[in-house]
Each structure stands twice: as C-alpha cells, then as structure tokens.
Amino acid sequence: MAEQRVSRWYFGGVASCGAACCTHPLDLIKVHLQTQQEVKLKMTEMAMHVVQREGVLALYSGLSASLCRQISYSLTRFAIYETVRDVWTSRNQGPLPFYQKALLGAFGGAVLMGPSAKVGCEGVLGGLRLTLTRFTYHMITGVTPGPEPVSTEGVRKLFSGASMASSRGAMVTVGQLSCYDQAKQLVLGTGVMSDNMLTHFLASVIAGGCATFLCQPLDVVKTRLMSSNGEYKGVIDCLRDTSRLGPLAFYKGLVPAGIRLVPHTVLTFIFLEQLRKYFGIPVPV
C-alpha cells in the first residue's frame, strides 16, 4: 500500500529556526529602517551603516531572541495549523477549501495571545531591544526579571504591543501557511509538476508575497509600539500618529520586509518539506 508522510508537531518550529539563521540580517535591517524617525537611509545604505559602525557580526545581533521567537511563536502556529488540518483532511477525505484554511491559519496565528505564545511576544521585544542596541544585556536577562528593563519599565512592558502581535500573527499565518497549502494544491492540480522542491519553491514564493502584503501595515505599527518609550497611549494612538505621515507610511520598509519575509518563507517550507519527507510520520493513502 502506498504511503505518504505528515509532519511531526514540532517540525514547523525547527524549520523556522533554520530559516531565521539565514535571514536574520535582513530582519535586523528591516527593523532599523522601520524605526528611523525620518527617511534617511535605504536598505543597502543601512546595511553598510551597521557594518561600518559595529562590524559584520552586528548583523546577527539579537539572533538568540529571533530563535526564541521562532521556537515559541512559529512552533505553536505550525503545530496548531498542521495538526488540525491533517485531522480535518482525513475526515473529509480531501483537501480543505481555502476559506477553511484561512480561518484555521488566522486562529493558529492569533494564539499569540495565549500563554504559550506570550513567550513569542517577549522574544520579539527582546529582539528589538538587542537589535536597536538600546540595552546591553543577553537575551535571557532581556526577557526575565532583573535590573533591566523590568525594574525600569515594569513587567507590562514585556508584553507591549501584544494585541498587534496577535493580529500580525494571524495575518502572516494566513499568508504563509494557508496560501502555501493552496498554492501547492493548485500547482499540483495542473498535472504539470510533481511534489518536488521546485513545486515547494514556487508555492512558498507565492506564500511569502501574500504574507508580506497582508502583514506589513500591522508590522509597522507593531514595531513602532514595541520600540516606543511610552509616547503612545495604545494602538489607536499609534495608528493616528503613523497616518499623519501618509498612507505609504504603513508600508514603510515594504521592500526590505519582502526581501526578508519571502526568503524566510521559502527556506522555512523547503526545510519543512525535507523534514517531512525524511522524518515525517508515515500514513497509508
């Protein structure tokens, strides 16, 4: 009897960590661009500025925070999405319609508001702190009680921007997981291509583009909230302040975001598919 393999629940987190190790410099540059008070430097100029000021290794500043975020946030959303999708698919004896994939992806991403994903929010904040070099502490001391920043800003500061992170998580999960599944299904449905790495590449490029388009406005607002020093009263206040800069302000850093998110998405799904192929759970078909 023929068989196929399905992912183990932790494969998404492992694949995301592998992708993050490759794309972290692009993520760092994106954050620097988004937090500029005025548009001064472009992507390549910002990269050169960081290297000249702090050295090449500065491009990997905050990598521990990025890995912490992936192993909590990405592992959680992948585990929820793929586990529920596989159960529903087996019951329906066929692939889910796209709207159900989108709803499932939004739910899996929005779990950022749950206790397990609050660590992901702390990881994002720790990454921003380390990336912007506003504090000189290791990732562990950056997200646990200690002399900095908890004693100076309070425990609540660790979860600043949590609602925006949850909304952004829902959008990026729909863009990545749901759109990847749908794009892969459509490509395979043509009968021209088989389930190989080229198919995975094409589907993940489409998914990365969709995720960038959906989450960039929320990403900009989230970054401004998390990097603020209390000047914003909340999300609405941050939205109002950002809108004063014009509608394009919500897509500030769109190109570096896409340059980072698309390769990250491609690498994540290529790693995930290889993990599934060689180490997945065999199921009869």
More confident residue, 188 or 92: 188
Specify the pLDDT at position 97.
93
Cα–Cα distance, 28 to 214 (Å, whole number): 20
* 41 part of a folded domain: yes
* 3 part of a folded domain: no
Cβ atoms of residues 260 and 208 within 8 Å: no
Specify the pLDDT at position 138.
39
pLDDT category, 228, cuts 50, 70, 90? confident
pLDDT digits (tens, 9 = 90+) for 233-282: 777 888 888 888 887 888 887 877 788 789 999 999 999 999 999 999 88
**Mean pLDDT, the chain, integer:** 79
Specify the pLDDT at position 220.
82
pLDDT digits (tens, 9 = 90+) for 29-70: 777 776 666 656 777 877 887 888 888 888 888 888 889 888
Share of the chain above pLDDT 70, in %: 77
Specify the pLDDT at position 103.
94
* 282 part of a folded domain: no
Specify the pLDDT at position 181.
96
pLDDT category, 285, cuts 50, 70, 90? low
Q: Identify the CATH number of the domain in which residue 40 sits.
A: 1.50.40.10
Q: Two tokens at 173?
A: 């999960």
Helix axis angle for 162-173 and 75-92, nearest 10°, is 40
Number of domains present in the structure of the chain = 1
* 2 part of a folded domain: no
Instruction: State mean pLDDT over 118-124.
Output: 43
Q: What is the pTM of this model?
A: 0.75
SS3 282: strand
Range ranked top by mean pLDDT from 73-82, 102-111, 180-189 = 180-189
* 284 part of a folded domain: no
- Beta-carbon contacts of 94 under 8 Å, excluding residues fewer than 6 positions away, are none
Specify the pLDDT at position 112.
57
Look up the domain containing 173 and give its range: 9-276
Cα–Cα distance, 104 to 125 (Å, whole number): 26
* 35 part of a folded domain: yes
* 283 part of a folded domain: no
